[in-house]
């Protein structure tokens, strides 16, 4: 069973890598911050970094930090900044480090201590390996936050979404819902695919984000999603 989180919030996972987890996460952070909440963010493990004067930095973690206007140290937001853009367990071995769930939980609690709502973005998909024995799912269960599934709407997503949804349930992690994020310019039978997932997952998407959607439509969709998340996030 999942732990009890010390703070309201959400853990964001996806059906795959490169399906818009950060894009969606930033919109959720901005929407929640607009309600006056103190929003914390965390990208516990990131694989793929750039050398800067401050040290190695991951673009997704920096993007989340900026969106939340967070004053927390980068090392809290992204405790494991791995250099190579490969699976975290492989990148960690290359860097000579071992990912420790309790270290991540300690930084999570540090951020939670002065946050009203905390968004944690995973790396890769639900079962992305962190070590030879642990997966991203183990981290989500340890943190205890409800899990939001970002579905990259494209060919193959029906299978990927259902498998991930079932694996989330099997882990004991509370499921916050899902968001349909269109990741290609021309997705065949998009409405029919979303309808199929709504039936198979037994819930409508909290939001539907169009291909490279910007502006008021995206803000409205994610503001609505935040409202739905607040009902399950503590």
As annotated, the active-site residues are 43
Residue located via tokens 């103190």: 38
């Amino acid at each position: 069973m999942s732990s009890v989180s010390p703070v309201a919030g959400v853990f964001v996972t996806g059906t795959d890598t490169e399906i818009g987890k950060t894009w969606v996460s930033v919109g959720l952070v901005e929407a929640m911050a607009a309600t006056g909440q103190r929003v914390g963010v965390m990208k516990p493990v990131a694989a793929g970094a750039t050398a800067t004067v401050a040290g190695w930095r991951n673009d997704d973690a920096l993007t989340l930090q900026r969106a939340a206007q967070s004053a927390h140290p980068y090392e809290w937001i992204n405790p494991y900044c791995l250099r190579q853009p490969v699976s975290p367990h492989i990148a960690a071995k290359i860097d000579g480090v071992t990912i420790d769930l309790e270290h991540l939980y300690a930084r999570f609690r540090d951020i939670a201590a002065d946050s009203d709502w905390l968004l944690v973005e995973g790396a890769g998909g639900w079962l992305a390996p962190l070590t030879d024995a642990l997966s991203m799912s183990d981290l989500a269960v340890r943190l205890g936050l409800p899990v939001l599934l970002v579905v990259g709407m494209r060919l193959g997503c029906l299978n990927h979404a259902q498998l991930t949804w079932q694996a989330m349930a099997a882990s004991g992690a509370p499921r916050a819902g899902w968001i349909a994020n269109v990741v290609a310019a021309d997705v065949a039978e998009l409405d029919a695919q979303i309808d199929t997932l709504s039936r198979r997952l037994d819930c409508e998407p909290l939001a539907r984000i169009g291909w490279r959607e910007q502006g008021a439509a995206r803000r409205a969709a994610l503001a609505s999603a935040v409202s739905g998340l607040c009902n399950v996030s503590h």
